[in-house]
Amino acid sequence: MSVKVIEIDGIGTVKLYKRSGTKGIRLTLGSDHSVRVTMPPWVPYQTAIGFVQSKNEWISLHLKPKHIFKDGEAVGKSHRIRFIRANPAKPGLRVANGEVRVLFGPNYNLEDDAAQSLALKGALRALKKEAGMLLPQRTQALAAKYSYSYQNLSVKQMRSRWGSCSQQQNLSLNIFLMQLPWSLIDYVIVHELAHTKVLNHGQDFWAEMQRCLPNAKELRKDIKNHKPTF
């Protein structure tokens, strides 16, 4: 599979993928704020570019504004972004000791795409690290406290939900939970644990939620005001 990366005025970074077996042109939005186009090998790049330009209004509506990281910005529960001006041949990244360290040379600005892309990569790495350490422990503690059991727990980056529970009682939690207050993290975890007993969102489910969290309905309203920062 070949990839071509271009910039289109008014849209931004567009990644064009030629993939065997693809029957038509498909457009998706990447977590890195790029537009991704998958197409058959025989489709000319210019045709795909025209297709993207024809979807400009839709892209603008669905692609949220790019987050600009600032020096000292908090990420998760225990990390901060640090932009460090150095003299490397190219920008570098290190996540350690509670810091996401973005190294960039004298010819770069911290708002340049290269520095910001590294900051995003490091921030996601920090969230994955924190979530992988903290969420399994918290889930085990809440399951024991409220008499729940589950099969497996996975922690991953998700685009549209904070968590999920399968019919097999396998739980998934979003790494972006680390951007929420602990009260809302607990709400999401208990929400998924409650689904191990009641898979729907009917009266029995909310009775189960309020058994564990008497203020569950208030927390439900509160979490609607939150979304991933970047």
Q: Residue 177 has which token pair?
A: 């939970």
CA dist 147 and 133 (Å) reads: 22
What lies within 8 Å, CB to CB, of 225 at 6+ separation is: none
**Confidence (pLDDT) at 58:** 85
Residue whose pair of structure tokens reads 């059991």 in the numeric block: 149
CB atoms within 10 A of CB 105: 15
CB atoms within 10 A of CB 83: 23
CA dist 117 and 135 (Å) reads: 26
CA dist 22 and 55 (Å) reads: 20
Give the helix ranges, DSSP H, for 55-112.
56-62
Let me know if 55 is exposed, middle or buried by CB neighbors in 10 A (0-12, 13-18, 19+).
middle
Which H or E element spans position 48?
helix 45-54
CA dist 32 and 30 (Å) reads: 5
3-state secondary structure of 67: coil
Q: Is it the case that residue 217 has pLDDT exceeding 80?
A: yes
Delimit the domains of the chain by residue range. 2-62, 74-128, 129-223
Over the stretch 14-40, which tens digit does the pLDDT of each residue have? Answer: 899 999 888 899 998 876 677 899 999
CA dist 29 and 14 (Å) reads: 9
CA dist 138 and 129 (Å) reads: 15
**Confidence (pLDDT) at 89:** 60
Q: Residue 113 has which token pair?
A: 């795409």
**Confidence (pLDDT) at 44:** 92
Over the stretch 84-101, which tens digit does the pLDDT of each residue have? Answer: 987 766 678 999 999 999
**Correct CATH for 129-223 of 3.40.80.10, 2.40.50.140, 3.30.2010.10, 3.90.550.10:** 3.30.2010.10
Over the stretch 124-176, which tens digit does the pLDDT of each residue have? Answer: 999 999 999 999 999 999 999 999 999 999 999 887 799 999 999 999 999 99
| 21 DSSP 8-state letter | T
